[in-house]
Amino acid sequence: MRSTRRQRSAARRGFTLVELLVVVGMVGILAALALVGYRRYMAAAGIAEPKAVMQGIRGAQESYKAEMLVYLNVSSALDAWYPAGTLGSHKRAWDGTGHSDAANWRLLNVTTDGPVRFGYASVAGNGNSLAASPHSGFTWHGLPQAPLTDPQFAPRGPWYVIQAAGDRDEDGTYALLLTASTMSGIYWENDTE
């Protein structure tokens, strides 16, 4: 009888300190794992916008070439970022109000789902000369040379280069994305910046 009473009173007492510490430790470990996954997700989501917009620009350039037989030289330089404004964490409307190349972007007919965080530039021409250098703030880690040093454009054929840059955390380090008519994919650097 006494042992039954002790078992009942022990069941009513609640959790011991050790049991509570074990539960708190397990919750802490799960929270740390969730935070790591969330950071990876946010880094991947941050670079998704420029990749999607660059694919849209690529498609628009190909459509323009199908009609006009040349690619459209949209930007005055590879660092004339569209839409207007400084590169940073704030979003800018795609309408390009106040940008000197806004008419060319409207002619290319590239659209976005809403405001964008990155700046975009697209230059085009004929032949194998590219008289523009990429933004000097990029180091091109992992490549033997800057990607546009020898782009291998056709000697008399049309070509284009698309570049995007952004500074999501406003620390002065830019994320860079670059593609050209001779590249099958998109090269990026500092994608987690």
Highest mean pLDDT: which range of 1-15, 136-150, 169-183: 169-183
Look at 17-21, 119-123, 125-129, 180-184 and tell me which has the smallest mean pLDDT.
125-129
Average of per-residue pLDDT across 181-192: 78
In DSSP terms, 30 is beta-bridged to none
Paired strand residues for 160:
124
Task: Name the residue ranges covered by the structural domains of the chain.
Answer: 48-189
Question: Does the pTM of the predicted model rise above 0.75?
Answer: no
Tens of pLDDT along 106-120?
Answer: 899 888 888 888 989
177 pairs with which residues across the strands? 164, 188
User: In angstroms, what CA-CA distances link 108 with 2, 47, 103, 121, 186?
Assistant: 88, 23, 9, 12, 20
pLDDT in tens, 26-69: 999 999 999 988 887 776 777 788 899 999 999 999 999 999 98
**Integer Cα distance of 131 and 147 in angstroms:** 14
pLDDT score of 160 more than 80 = yes
pLDDT at 102: 86
Convert the pLDDT of each residue in 65-87 to its tens digit.
Answer: 999 989 999 988 887 889 877 77
Helices (H), ranges, the chain? 2-13, 17-68, 102-108
pLDDT recorded at residue 155: 63
Is 165 exposed, middle or buried, given 0-12, 13-18 or 19+ CB atoms closer than 10 A? buried
